[in-house]
Amino acid sequence: MTVEHEETRLRADARRNRDQILGAAKELFADAGPDVPMEEIARRAGVGVGTLYRRFPDRASLLREVARDTFRGVLADARTAIDEEPTAWDALVRFLRITQRVKLSVQLAMLSPLARAVFSADPSTDEFRREALGILDRIVEQAQAEGSLRPDVGAGDVTIMFSLLLRELPHQPMRVSSFATDRCIALMLDGLRARPGSPLPGRAVTSADIFDA
């Protein structure tokens, strides 16, 4: 095997280990919370503890990369939604379902002072919010132009509505939680559709309002 092939194999092994560790961390953080032992994460990932710590020397670095990896995936899928969906309304529905994937990061920040501090100090969190709101601005404008989204709302209104679903819901039996969030999303989308309805007080909340808060 040549040196070049060996380096390629090592890079592929490193990427695979990283992906396995992040996947295991997301599963265990969701199931057991942010304080799950690092050894358990390594065991779930199928790697040695030494491999985990070489990649992520402490819990803070692992939490940071879990959030960044989620943000990158959400933004990539959101951009794809605009290109692939036949209408802006369909892109909006897909975008809002995609953003549910950041729920874990939100809940970790609420449960763990360490996670909250890590996310607050990481510029990637702010960059993600800005880019996600920029994509949502574009979708909202296009959906209103096509007449599918009510004209008296802004991207900030949509953000606030759906941010409520990112928070931890009251404990529910598994048979209820499996469809409860989907029902809430459907109800919110129904209220956003363009048709005669109750006039909204005040003015539309924009994405700029969200950052000025």
Residue that finishes a domain, picked among 33, 57, 81? 57
Q: What is the CATH number of the domain that holds 39?
A: 1.10.10.60
pLDDT the model gives residue 67:
92
Range of the domain at 46: 1-57
Which one of 9, 29, 57 terminates a domain?
57
Last residue of a domain, one of 10, 34, 57: 57
* pLDDT confidence of residue 8: 60
- 85 and 124 share one domain: yes
Shared domain check, 43 and 71: no
Co-location of 49 and 112 in the same domain: no
Coil, strand or helix at 162: helix
**pLDDT of 2:** 57
Same domain for 133 and 52, yes or no, is no
What total number of domains does the chain contain? 2
CA dihedral 163, 167, 171, 172 (to 10 degrees): 30
Q: Are residues 148 and 83 in the same domain?
A: yes
- On whether both 51 and 83 belong to a single domain, the answer is no
Identify the segments of the chain with pLDDT beneath 50.
3, 6
* Residue 85 and residue 5 share a domain: no
- Structure token digits, residue 94: 């897909």
For residue 23, count other CB atoms closer than 10 A to its CB.
15
Q: What angle in degrees, to the nearest 10, is found between the helix axes of 59-84 and 123-146?
A: 20
Residues 125 and 158 in one domain: yes
* CATH value at residue 140: 1.10.357.10
